[in-house]
Structure 1
Amino acid sequence: MGEWQTLKTPGGTLQAWLAQPETASRGGVVVVQEIFGVTRHIRDVCERFAQAGFTALAPAYLDVIEPGIDLPYDRAGANRGVALVNKLGMESALDTTEEAARMLRGKGLNVGVIGFCWGGTVAFLGNTRLNLPAVSYYGARNLPFLGEPAGAPLMFHFGGRDPHITPEAVAAHRLKQPQAQTFVYEEADHAFNRDPDPPFDPEAAELAWQRTLAFFTEHLQ
């Protein structure tokens, strides 16, 4: 079971959920939240990484604005989350990602990053600007940054029925990041990995998870 750790960043001190394997770690993964905070789902992602042999750290990015954010998955929660991440800004998010990666490297680990929705774009920028192997799940804000050269191996996951990410947007990822592994799950919607909350798609989530574990196994060991 994971536990909260204190993480000092240029923007302020925040909490981060740390989950560690019972045996020697296969690598470290920074887990970047959705706009809703370090929710049960995000903590569960960390626990699943630990069960697979990785050390996972999920910073509470929004703590520097308002500590303890854990928003509901409804329209009101989404509206508030969007406002908070817009106020935070990408540069601050990347500062936090860099400090989280530094904490994991301090444990003697090679480090990658994974993120979901807003966090998917933070993870992508963690690749292009921090040179971290990255897995980006349904990064709805990726498009303006696709021209940035990748700094490490890169993987994208998208739902074929995601109203926020059009087929044209997916095609742009393939065009501008041709070296990346880009997967589309045709029957899945946005946030298809968010177990057990709708629109969770167990089949797509499991396949994406196995691909993600294979990616980090290859690039962090």
Structure 2
Amino acid sequence: MTGETITLQASDGQELSAYWVRPETPTHGGVVVIQEIFGVNDHIRSVCDKLADAGYYAVAPALFDRAEPGVELDYDAEGVARGKALKDSLDWDSALLDIDAGAQFLKHEGVRKAAVVGFCWGGTLTWLSACRLAAVDCAVAYYGAQIPSYLDETPRCPIMLHFGEKDASIPAESVARIQAAHPEIPILSYPAGHGFNCDRRADFDKGSAELAWHRTIGLLQQTVG
């Protein structure tokens, strides 16, 4: 199993790069992995590889390509500042076109059902993908801080949300608002901070990451195979 860089084309004609990996034993569906504000970096590629190990096709569109190609940022103050600036230079609709390009690519490759799994900025984009993209059959969002801004929208597919109880950027009140607006959605919390799934970050929490991943794979197995 070896990942490669490919080129996707969104429906508006925009071309963007993506990390793409096929499983050695393809027994499941496909997953679009949605980046944090740090680009398609080692962490995001490792998530794709881990999904492929579990039998899923995985593709991670480089959403920053619309602003600046080839961006990979470190988890430090400079990386955070630059990542936020790049994120703010883009709009949600354009990012969703690029995510949809990933889902369409998977289905063109013969994948019957496609899920999205996203982190941080990608967590909010996961919510919007579940609400707006017909090609998405399942969604798992990790610590999507801006989800409360879109509670008037309802996911069209099964979705699971993961949050850290010690996340300074997502107050407990915000998570409670999501649960109140959508009591049917499983919202799972962990004794951890923001970015707890990423072993490159200071807030990495191994136990929480493993439990969240186990639950994520469980939903994927139920919905996309």
CA contact (8 A) 1:11 1:64 kept: no
Aligned length: 220
The structure 1 residue matched to 2:83, chosen from 81, 85, 95, is: 81
Counterparts in 2 of 1:34 and 1:11: CA distance versus 1, 3 Å: farther
Alignment of 1:58-207 (within 5 A): 58-109=60-111, 110-131=113-134, 132=136, 133-185=138-190, 187-207=191-211
Give the alignment partner of residue 42 of structure 1, picking from 36, 40, 44. Answer: 44
RMSD: 1.0
TM-score scaled by length of structure 1: 0.97
* 3-state secondary structure, aligned to 2:89: helix
SS of the residue 2:43 aligns to: helix
Displacement of 1:113 in angstroms is 0.3
One-letter amino acid of the counterpart of residue 152, structure 1: C
SS across alignment from 2:140: strand
Identity %: 44
Measured in 2, the distance between the counterparts of 1:178 and 1:107 equals 35
Displaced runs of 4 or more, over 6 A = none
Amino acid of the residue matched to residue 52 of structure 2? A
Q: Which residue of 2 aligns with 1:3?
A: 4
> In structure 2, how many angstroms separate the alpha carbons of the residues matched to 1:58 and 1:144?
25
Report if aligned partners of 1:114, 1:123 keep a CA contact under 8 Å in 2: yes
- Where does structure 1 lack aligned partners over 5 or more consecutive residues? none
SS at match of 2:223: helix
> 8 Å contact 1:28–1:104 — kept in the other structure?
yes
C-alpha separation in 1, matches of 2:27 and 2:81: 38
1:196, distance to aligned residue in structure 2 (A)? 3.6
SS at 1:88's partner residue? coil
